[in-house]
Amino acid sequence: LYFCFLQMTANDCQDPPKYWTIHGLWPDKAEDCNRTWHFNVTEIKDLMSDMRHYWPDVLHSSLNRTQFWKHEWDKHGTCAATLEVLNSQKKYFGKALELYQHVDLNSCLLKAGIKPSSSYYKMTAIKEALTRFYGVTPKIQCLPPEEGEKAQTIGQIEFCFTKELQLRNCTALKGGSNTVQAPLKLGTEELSVCNDTLPTYYPSEVQ
């Protein structure tokens, strides 16, 4: 499983959060597993306060903020539901929120002295800090340098879990890739695995 944090803004984003938020909880190698199991926001009404805070739709300034959650449930939650611990909408979203709190990426980065800055970081230093803290290697994705620029911009950090929801290294499994995720598009930009050799910009927000 993947657990992804997204801190991105688009031109239509209003008041973006200044902390890492949840993108999704994604099973490997499966999408849209049950098109008849429709998202029902009333099933997660008890989670609504945490959902709005930790799992906001940071890419669309839509009044209907549930569309992002519906997309994640339809595409990924219906597949994750093969695990008993994730086999309802409340369990799926609730467990993702629980894992978010457990991983506590915001606190980890601060403790490692990695915080938004106008100066650059070495990607290897960021990776080493995360691996030292968690004992596993996450997958870090960046926006490539803009034309005329030399630095990539950190955009998303994926944590990988076993089916028992224990942290594991985000490395390709034998027999092929362990992800079916297409690169995330942000306007005309696309996130991809960060380049270890490029200076890395960690801004408070991306314009």
Other C-beta atoms lying within 10 Å of the C-beta of residue 117? 11
Q: Which residue has the tokens 């034309």?
A: 147
Q: pTM of the full predicted structure? A: 0.85
pLDDT tens-digit profile of 84-105? Answer: 999 999 999 999 999 999 999 9
Residues classed as catalytic: 23, 72, 76
159: three-class secondary structure by DSSP:
strand
pLDDT at residue 92, as a whole number: 98
Instruction: Examine the pLDDT at 36 and tell me if it is beyond 90.
Output: yes
Which amino acid does the sequence have at 206? V
Other C-beta atoms lying within 10 Å of the C-beta of residue 32? 10
Rounded distance between C-alpha atoms, residue 118 and residue 39, angstroms = 41
pLDDT at residue 206, as a whole number: 55
Per-chain mean pLDDT for the chain: 85
- Is the CATH code 3.40.50.1110 the one for domain 2-201? no
**Residue 141 phi/psi, 5° resolution?**
-115, 145
pLDDT tens-digit profile of 159-169? Answer: 999 999 999 99
pLDDT at residue 18, as a whole number: 84
Q: 79, 30 in Cβ contact below 8 A?
A: yes
